Chain A
């Protein structure tokens, strides 16, 4: 049965779009039929991160308003046959989205896909509400930093009260994904700890993605990091998170710094 997954956070710039692309590609690599849907009307970026920015003809609003068919708006990924993108509109106003229209599009996508991944805009307004509205599961992308944790808490509250599932007495299955984790800063006690974040948010952990050049490089070239450099630390962390999403039990690896000889010597002296 198809699953609708929202990638959300409240706060901007934490890595929602990067995570949507990376996990979407990893699910497709695992043989699932996947569509990633950009809900950030007016500020679309998922097309750019996926490397499909020059292939956008129709978008989500066209489909919602009936000016284009779903099959015309879906962009099939050039690397993975079973991965497609439904882009957001760049020019239209987000008020053009109606709950009823989104519900229809999601229902259509459910009929032909295994996973529908909704990339939420930042904030807690209409766009973010609509992105989570029909979700079965949610990934709350959180940076180890106070403002991000606070916003995640707020979003968790909304997932528990404002989604269709919540209103019908069911639960949205929630997962926290910690991104831009810096092991060196965490070791020095400068970064709020993973255990503290999980305790505060009272939500299970899906994965820990380290801050990395590989993530930046992947978005520069328009390829999800899980496809662009699959052996890199962030790509492996995303792959593990994806396997957990599919129900596998995978040991949680806290990314650590690769230590050189000098580093070890200095570390020993300081101890």
Chain B
């Protein structure tokens, strides 16, 4: 097997160059990071404001509010996960 391997490895295609992939990933990432630089942390800001709005109507634990962002190539998603404890006072119809 080793002898065949020796010859066959010569004919094997060269590995795909990974440098162009590195370049592309960096360009996308840095374009995004430079845009955020100097601004207050967007996620922290969103978290605080969402928390303020929701807690006006529902009693909740500030630690149980999770705001996550996932960046895609074309679209990014913002995921807001708020845990509302059972048995707590939820004045759903109390507006007005």
Which chain A residues have a beta carbon within 8 Å of chain B's beta carbons? 145-146, 149-150, 153-154, 157, 161, 186, 188-193, 196, 200
Q: Measured between C-beta atoms, what is the minimum distance from B28 to chain A in Å?
A: 11
* Interface residues in B7-44 (C-beta closer than 8 Å to A): 14-15, 17-20, 22-23, 25-27, 29-30, 33-34, 37-38
Sample of 13 more A-B contacts, CB < 8 Å, known A146-B25, A189-B20, A190-B15: A146-B26, A150-B33, A153-B30, A153-B34, A157-B34, A157-B37, A188-B14, A190-B17, A192-B23, A192-B26, A193-B19, A196-B26, A200-B23
Instruction: Known contacts A161-B38, A200-B27; decide if A192 and B19 are in contact (CB<8 Å).
Output: yes
In the bound complex, do residue B17 and residue A200 qualify as a contact, i.e. CB atoms below 8 Å apart?
no
In the bound complex, do residue B33 and residue A154 qualify as a contact, i.e. CB atoms below 8 Å apart?
yes
Q: How far is the CA of A145 from the CA of B19 in the complex (A)?
A: 9
User: Which of chain B's residues have a CB closer than 8 A to the CB of A149?
Assistant: 26
> How many residue-residue contacts, CB under 8 A, span A and B?
43
In the bound complex, do residue A189 and residue B18 qualify as a contact, i.e. CB atoms below 8 Å apart?
yes
In the bound complex, do residue A153 and residue B33 qualify as a contact, i.e. CB atoms below 8 Å apart?
yes
**Interface of chain B: mostly helix, strand, loop or mixed:** helix
- Give which listed residue, A153, A154, A190, contacts B19 with CB less than 8 A: A190
User: Which of chain B's residues have a CB closer than 8 A to the CB of A150?
Assistant: 26, 29-30, 33
Q: How far is the CA of A157 from the CA of B35 in the complex (A)?
A: 11
* Interface residues in B41-94 (C-beta closer than 8 Å to A): none
Q: How far is the CA of A196 from the CA of B24 in the complex (A)?
A: 10
**Residues of B in contact with A, size category:** 10 to 19
Q: How far is the CA of A188 from the CA of B34 in the complex (A)?
A: 31
| B23: nearest chain-A partner, CB-CB | A196
Q: How far is the CA of A153 from the CA of B34 in the complex (A)?
A: 9
User: Which of chain A's residues have a CB closer than 8 A to the CB of B33?
Assistant: 150, 153-154
Q: Measured between C-beta atoms, what is the minimum distance from B51 to chain A in Å?
A: 28
15 interchain pairs, CB-CB under 8 A: A145-B22, A146-B26, A149-B26, A150-B26, A150-B29, A153-B30, A153-B34, A157-B34, A188-B15, A192-B22, A192-B26, A193-B19, A196-B22, A200-B26, A200-B27
Instruction: Known contacts A146-B25, A161-B38; decide if A190 and B30 are in contact (CB<8 Å).
Output: no
User: Which of chain B's residues have a CB closer than 8 A to the CB of A190?
Assistant: 15, 17-19
Instruction: Known contacts A157-B37, A161-B38; decide if A200 and B30 are in contact (CB<8 Å).
Output: yes
| A185: nearest chain-B partner, CB-CB | B19
In the bound complex, do residue B19 and residue A196 qualify as a contact, i.e. CB atoms below 8 Å apart?
yes
| A193: nearest chain-B partner, CB-CB | B19
User: Which of chain B's residues have a CB closer than 8 A to the CB of A193?
Assistant: 19, 23
Q: Measured between C-beta atoms, what is the minimum distance from A62 to chain B in Å?
A: 36
Q: Measured between C-beta atoms, what is the minimum distance from B20 to chain A in Å?
A: 7
User: Which of chain A's residues have a CB closer than 8 A to the CB of B34?
Assistant: 153, 157
User: Which of chain B's residues have a CB closer than 8 A to the CB of A188?
Assistant: 14-15, 17
Q: How far is the CA of A136 from the CA of B29 in the complex (A)?
A: 29
Q: How far is the CA of A149 from the CA of B24 in the complex (A)?
A: 12
In the bound complex, do residue B19 and residue A189 qualify as a contact, i.e. CB atoms below 8 Å apart?
yes
User: Which of chain B's residues have a CB closer than 8 A to the CB of A196?
Assistant: 19, 22-23, 26
| A201: nearest chain-B partner, CB-CB | B30
Q: Measured between C-beta atoms, what is the minimum distance from B80 to chain A in Å?
A: 28
